[in-house]
Each structure stands twice: as structure tokens, then as C-alpha cells.
Amino acid sequence: MLENFIKDFKLFLQKYSTDLLINIPALSMFIISTTKFTPSSLESTLVLSASVTTIFAIITLTRRQYKHKLLIGSIYNFFTFITFLYVKTLSLLTFFIIYEMFLLPSAALVWLFSPNERGYKTSIFFLAWTQLGSAMLLYSIYYIKTYMGIGHFLAPTVGTSLPPLAIQLLLLFGFLIKIPTFPFYFWLTKTHVEAVTSFSIFLSGFLVKIALFGIYKFLPFWSVKIKLIAFILAMIGAFVTSILFLYQLDVKKIVAYATVQEMSQLLAFFMIVQTTNIRTVSLFLLTHTIISAKFFYLADIFHRHNATRCTLAIAGTTITSPKLALVTVAGLVFFRGLPFTMKNAVEFSMLDALVSAETSFAFFWLFAVVFIGNVTFTYVFLKLLVFQPPKGTVTLFDLNKVEVLFFTMTTSFLIFGPFIFFV
């Protein structure tokens, strides 16, 4: 019996040695960041999001990418490790350099693993837009360092000298492009449609959040007027994308717009409460990391088994794939933020903070973003579930072990999260 066990163990190591080598760093980072996680720290939340999305991104690699698994996993783990440097540095220039270390390899991932020419063009589009934002940030940081003599981040104190309005606008637009929100979000939806699912999970679950962290770090350099501009643009973006859900046919594009909508919603909230309610911001970011990963993986499953992501072609999921339909309904429950879910606790906390700050803003946020956005997003997916499937469609597939593991992990967090972080 012992000999058989040793033989099976050797076969296991031979077959999964690469997978183990890739996942051990990510799992180690996850364990470390979990033990040190504090909801009141945006830094620890960003590190935890990086480790979580790294694990999810590696799990969801397809067979076509398997031979490149070591390269892709190494890049994702590299992102996770430099996140520590990103959140800890106090130097403005070092902050910018590390920021670029996220973006350039990301564009390379889109280019290397895109299956067609559209993907190559998308990687250029992604690089061009993000580098436009980088140019704005670099010039702003150069001005602050050279002409204001400030080379390090400041604590948000009263009386802090502010850069000229033009420099503040460059800082704002540089970060809005990278979050992204209105009117700069087009590169994100285009990139998501053409990128592989593992990168979409990483891009939505983590990469867009480092820009929000940048806004948090640069808050002392912004006037009330700039924060008001950011709030207005964010609310417009949240409202517009809530309506755009109704006009999308690509499942992945719908989920991409959901990221824009939620990041815009969070930015608007952030501009009102600023640093007074970091705990709520952190938990919203973490919740979005899990929910976005869940829905991007759903989109990938639809595409792999139906050879299309068009909602009209894959309608009737409750008939053709009952278990997938059940997972989709569970995802909608968590996205809607129904009672006893993580998002419900976070949204209640956000509303409480907004009412304390300004009642009219709280009402507009509740109606335009939470209500309309949730209803339109849910309506689109309900059509996919209950509309009649195309003629000739039969039961096509069931969830495999990896897919069941993935959805079990994400669902467990979204169920037990409120008890861990709010009780």
C-alpha cells in the first residue's frame, strides 16, 4: 500500500509540478495578506485583491494557454509582489514607476495571448490609452517635484499648498483614464472583449483598483473644485453605463460595463466621504473583486461551450444548462446586494455614510446607481436565463470540477464575508 501511495504521489508531482510551482507564491501571498488584513486599510485591501485575483487568474487559464502557464503565472505573481512596494512607497516618482510596471506587462499579456488580429489591435489601443494617462501623471508629478519641491506624499492636512488648477486636472484625468470612468471607459470594454478570461479577471478585479488607490494618495493635492468635477463625472458614468446594459449582446461586455459602473459609483462615494470611511471603500473593492471574477468566469463558460457570448444565441440557459443557470442566479443575488450578502452590508454602510455627508447625494446615488444599475444588469441576465433557446439547442454541458471549485470559493466568501468583516 505504501509503495502504491508513493507511486501515485510521484505521478501527481510529475503531472502537476508546474501548477504547484505557479500557485505556491500566490497562495503564500494570500495567506500572508489574509492574516494581516484590516478593513480600515486600503493598502492591505489592495494586496489581498492582488493575491486573490492572481489565484483566480491562474485557475481559469484555458488549455490553449496551458503551455504558457509558467510565463503567465510568473507575470501574475510578479504583479502581486510589486503591489507591496506600490502601497508602501512614499516617493512620488517611485510610485509612478511601479504603477507603470503593472501596465506594460499587462498590455503584453493581451497582445501575446489574443487569438486573432482584433486582439493585437486591442493591445495597442489599451497601451495607447493607459500611456496617455501615464503621460498626464508623469508631467504632474514632475511639476509637483520640481516647482513645488514636494517629492513625497503628504498627509491630508489643512493648509497644504495646492498645485495649479491645470496640474490638478491632469492628475484627475490621468487617473480617470486608468480607473476608468466617464468619458474614458471605452478602452476597458474593448480590452475585456478581446482579452483572455484570466486577464479580464485580473484587470477588473485588481488592475483598475490601483488607479483608485492613486487617487487616494493624491487627495491632498486636490481642491474642492476638482473633487466636485470628479464626483460629477463619476455619477454621469455610473448612470450612463447602467442604461448601456440594456443595449449589449456580448455577455463579457455587459460584465465589463458593470465594472465601469461600480468603479464610477465608488469614485463618487470616495469624493464625498474621502478618507473618513476607508473601511467601507476597502470592503466594496474586495466585494467587487469576487463578484467580477465570478461573472467573467461565467462569460467564459458560456463562450467555451456555445462558441459565442451573444445573449440571443445562448438564451434559455435554464433549459440547456440547469446547473450553470443556478450559478448565474446565485451571482445575480450577490450582485443585487440582497440581504445577508456581502454587498448588501457594504451598500448599507455606504448609504449611511452618504446620508451623514449629504442627503440629496445619497438619494441620487440610491436611485440612479443602485436601483437602475441593479435592475438593468439583472434584467439582461434574466433574459439570458428564461428566454426561449434557439431552435435545435439541446443540453450541452455540465460544470466540471474546476468550475465547481471556483464558484464554491467565490460564493463562500460572499456568504461569510459579512460575518467576518461586519460582526
**Which pLDDT score is estimated for 324?**
81
Q: Rounded to the nearest 5°, which phi and psi values hold at 310?
A: -70, 125
Rounded Cα distance, 216 and 271, in Å: 10
The number of residues making up the chain comes to: 423
Q: Is 81 helix (H, G, I), strand (E, B) or coil?
A: helix
Long-range Cβ contact pairs of 46-49 (< 8 A, separation 24 or more) = 46/83, 46/86, 46/87, 46/206, 46/209, 46/210, 46/213, 46/285, 47/80, 47/83, 47/84, 47/87, 48/286, 49/205, 49/206, 49/209, 49/285, 49/286, 49/289
List beta partners, residue 91: 152
Report whether the peptide linkage leading into residue 164 is cis, meaning its omega lies within 30 degrees of zero: no
Q: Count CA within 13 A, CB hemisphere, residue 138.
A: 10
The burial of 153, by beta-carbon neighbours within 10 Å (0-12 exposed, 13-18 middle, 19 or more buried), is given as middle
3-state secondary structure of 190: helix
Q: Which of 23, 155, 149, 16 is nearest to 80 (CA)?
A: 23
Domain ranges of the chain: 22-154+162-421
| Burial class for 298, CB neighbours closer than 10 Å (0-12, 13-18, 19+) | buried
Whole-model pTM? 0.86
Task: Give the amino acid at 105.
Answer: P
| pLDDT averaged over 10-residue windows placed end to end, the chain, 423 residues | 50 49 59 61 82 81 66 79 84 88 81 71 82 89 85 61 86 88 84 82 87 86 86 86 86 88 84 72 85 88 79 77 82 80 78 69 68 84 77 62 79 74 59
Which uninterrupted H or E stretch holds 220? none
Roughly what angle, to the nearest 10 degrees, separates helices 401-421 and 322-336? Answer: 20
Q: How far is CA 14 from the centre of its chain?
A: 34
pLDDT for position 365: 67
Helix, strand, or coil here: 149?
coil
